Amino acid sequence: DAGVTQSPTHLIKTRGQHVTLRCSPISGHKSVSWYQQVLGQGPQFIFQYYEKEERGRGNFPDRFSARQFPNYSSELNVNALLLGDSALYLCASSTRLAVHNEQFFGPGTRLTVL
């Protein structure tokens, strides 16, 4: 069975640009969450979506947005990129609300902002 997949694996952007990251959850999972992990730190919670609705949001600026599609895949969008947005972006899926259940993580997208 396929695990959580994310695309692209690596991405290089310049300051001010926009980026879209994609995530496909495990089949049957209805919840997708996004995390940002800066090198040497623990992941920071960005968003949680369940049944296509936002069900939780971390302390990130409005430049960060996301959505979940009818097939439960998800996109994370970041506008007006800053150097500090360089990080590993992780997507995780779970059967129900992520914060109360085991989450399955994808390999991540490494974003570098120059």
Partner 1 sequence: SQQGEEDPQALSIQEGENATMNCSYKTSINNLQWYRQNSGRGLVHLILIRSNEREKHSGRLRVTLDTSKKSSSLLITASRAADTASYFCATTPDTGNQFYFGTGTSLTVIP
Which residues contact partner 1 by CB under 8 A? Answer: 4, 33, 35, 37, 39, 41-45, 48, 55-59, 88, 90, 92, 97-108
Rank residues 46 and 81 by Cβ distance to partner 1 and give the closer one: 46
Q: CB 16 → partner 1: shortest distance, Å?
A: 26
Q: CB 60 → partner 1: shortest distance, Å?
A: 11
Distance CA 71, CA 78 (A): 22
Rank residues 65 and 104 by Cβ distance to partner 1 and give the closer one: 104
Rank residues 9 and 14 by Cβ distance to partner 1 and give the closer one: 9
Question: By C-alpha distance, which of 8, 11, 17 is closest to 111?
Answer: 11
User: Which residues are registered as beta bridge partners of 76?
Assistant: 21, 66
Q: CB 24 → partner 1: shortest distance, Å?
A: 13
Contact call for residues 2 and 27 (beta carbons, < 8 A): yes
Tokens of 48: 């949680």
Q: What is the DSSP string of 45-63?
A: EEEEEETTEEEEE-S--TT
Q: CB 69 → partner 1: shortest distance, Å?
A: 20
